[in-house]
Amino acid sequence: MSESIREARERREDAIVDHPFGMKSSQTRGRRKAEPEDPIRPCFERDSHRILHCSAFRRLRYKTQVVFSPENDHVSTRVDHCLFMASIVQTVTRSLGLNADLGYAIALGHDLGHGPFGHAGEVVLDRQARSRGGDARFEHELHSLRIVDELASRPSTGERGLNLSYEVRDGIVCHCGERSDQVLTPRTGANVALETLQNRGLVPVTLEGCVVRAADRIAYLGRDIEDARAVFDDLPPLPSHVTKVLGSENRTIINTLVNDVIRTNQRSPDQIGFSDGVFEAMDELYRYNVREIYRHPKLLEYSAKAERMLGAILDWAADYLAQTPPDRWSVVESNAAWPARFLREFIGKMYPVDRRPDTMQIAVDWVSLMTDRFARSAFEALVLPESIG
């Protein structure tokens, strides 16, 4: 029996992925639910296509990355960040002889769990979830896994969840770009039940996953500065030590950091990270961004408004469901306000009747998948009075 195109590609991949710690498609730990292999695509390429074509990924183009400026076409959105990061991951993985398809898939899916309005949305989603008690929590990388495992759809099967390979799911839930790790060494040992994780910070199981975690910062540090410069006219110059080591523009910052990651791994093949001097400058740049961009008065003012907006929507959704008999949650009533119709349609599509989570988890799931503009429209419909006559 002749080999399939996929098997021939996996054989060629075995020669391309020549890093001693590279992850080969033929050695995957598998999927949560067994399914036939694709006749053409290796598993990690197939995963990247599932992520790229799901509606949760498309919504990222209308979700804030850092700077709230939907009318400015030159400011990055969440989907831009994912694509920038994916290109960096491809460069690093290919240069080192790692699996570029695996890194690319993780990079595309790593931020699917972000809600509207950037990190302001993450803050209020978690705060509101915890305030109601129960099991609901919100940390975006854990929620990214929830989306690919439970909420995203596969039109070809009608099932919920993308049924991704273990290595991609692991890289997504372990990406944690807010952690300041100088070096990362993949974890070893038996498979962790990823869907049971409650806290962020677990180190990825593959070196490709470690590349993604490092690339997250590489992708946003310089880009956030350029986005802020497009909107704010009062940013002070970068620290001289940062410009001396990393450069003053996004392209030079990325180039310096990518080259450093590659050289660092060449010296220590089991690690992904940065040299001492570069990491010191990188950390100083991050502190500059926190001080001058993420805590900029205009950004803080907008964040506070976004938090109040999302808080109101979450409270309304949780109260609405609490006051509605569960057997009516997915019954769409034509005369109801449109947010109520959308919420009921969402419940009917997302959850089997016998596996519905508590009301706050439903509200968190619903709001997390909203774009910025959908959330604003929902808030206006719920809060602003309608005209009479």
**What pLDDT sits at residue 13?**
97
- Please tell me which residue, 95 or 127, carries the higher pLDDT value: 95
5-38 residue pLDDT tens: 999 999 999 999 999 999 999 999 999 999 999 9
**What pLDDT sits at residue 134?**
62
Beta strands in the chain (DSSP E): 153-154, 159-160, 183-184, 272-273
Kindly report the average pLDDT of the chain as a whole number.
Answer: 92
| Gyration radius from the chain CA atoms | 22
147-177 residue pLDDT tens: 999 999 887 777 889 999 999 999 999 998 5
189-201 residue pLDDT tens: 889 999 999 878 8
Integer angstrom CA distances of residue 71 from 9, 64, 124, 177:
44, 12, 24, 27
pLDDT mean over 317-333: 90
70-82 residue pLDDT tens: 677 789 999 999 9
Residue 178's pLDDT band, with cuts at 50, 70 and 90, is: low
* Cα angle value 15/16/21 (rounded, 5°): 90
User: How far is it, in rounded angstroms, from Cα 39 to Cα 290?
Assistant: 48
**What pLDDT sits at residue 271?**
97
Q: Quote the tokens at residue 293.
A: 């961009």
| β-pair type (272-273, 153-154) | unpaired
Closest CA to 111 of 210, 198, 177, 196: 177
User: How far is it, in rounded angstroms, from Cα 229 to Cα 250?
Assistant: 12
User: How far is it, in rounded angstroms, from Cα 75 to Cα 114?
Assistant: 18
What number of other Cβ atoms are within 10 A of residue 195's Cβ? 13
Integer angstrom CA distances of residue 346 from 26, 329, 342:
37, 10, 6
User: How far is it, in rounded angstroms, from Cα 125 to Cα 314?
Assistant: 8
Name residue 31's beta-bridge partners.
165
Give the single-character DSSP code of 199: S
User: How far is it, in rounded angstroms, from Cα 256 to Cα 100?
Assistant: 20
Tokens 């006219």 sit on residue: 233
277-305 residue pLDDT tens: 999 999 999 999 999 999 999 999 989 99
CATH 1.10.3210.10 residue ranges for the chain: 17-112+152-295
87, containing H or E segment: helix 78-96
**What pLDDT sits at residue 158?**
73
Does residue 135 carry a pLDDT above 90?
A: no
User: Of 3.40.50.720, 3.90.470.20, 3.60.15.10, 1.10.3210.10, which CATH number belongs to 17-112+152-295?
Assistant: 1.10.3210.10
Burial class (CB in 10 A: 0-12, 13-18, 19+), 291: exposed
Enter the pTM of the model.
Answer: 0.96
**What pLDDT sits at residue 133?**
66
Of 89-98, 133-142, 150-159, 174-183, give the range with the top mean pLDDT: 89-98
